[in-house]
């Protein structure tokens, strides 16, 4: 059995290429914006913070947090604005436990 350490790591110049090329399955692509669009959004919107989801040292997902304060909504903390995970990676990981 393989143990995985799951971490959120900020998207930087070092892992940006990997993030841009991380894609959901074909049937899920219409449900989320491409990661490249989300990274452009994060550059333009200083309250947005992009993170890679890692299983050990492999990026398996992406999250874009928004720390903007919304006056019309009573929320505190961060909101997950966009996100994907690689379902195929999750299935392979589960199969390895069987």
3-state helix, strand, coil in the chain (%, to 5): 30, 30, 40
Over the stretch 31-83, which tens digit does the pLDDT of each residue have?
888 889 989 989 998 888 999 988 889 898 888 887 766 666 665 555 555 55
**Does 1 fall in a domain?**
no
Q: What is the CATH number of the domain that holds 32?
A: 3.40.630.30
Domain count within the chain? 1
**Does 67 fall in a domain?**
yes
Specify the pLDDT at position 26: 81
**Does 32 fall in a domain?**
yes
Question: Full-prediction pTM beyond 0.85?
Answer: no
Question: What is the domain extent for residue 20?
Answer: 6-97
The candidate with the shortest Cα–Cα distance to 42, out of 23, 25, 14, 20, is 20
**Does 70 fall in a domain?**
yes
Q: Is the pLDDT of residue 15 over 90?
A: yes
């Amino acid at each position: 059995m393989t143990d995985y350490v799951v971490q959120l790591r900020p998207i930087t110049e070092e892992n940006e290429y990997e993030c841009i090329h991380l894609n959901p399955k074909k049937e899920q692509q219409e449900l989320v914006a491409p990661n490249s669009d989300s990274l452009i959004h994060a550059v333009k919107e200083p309250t947005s913070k992009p993170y890679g989801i890692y299983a050990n040292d492999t990026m398996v997902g992406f999250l874009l947090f928004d720390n903007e304060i919304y006056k019309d909504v009573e929320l505190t903390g961060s909101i997950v604005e966009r996100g994907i995970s690689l379902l195929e990676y999750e299935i392979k990981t589960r199969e390895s436990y069987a």
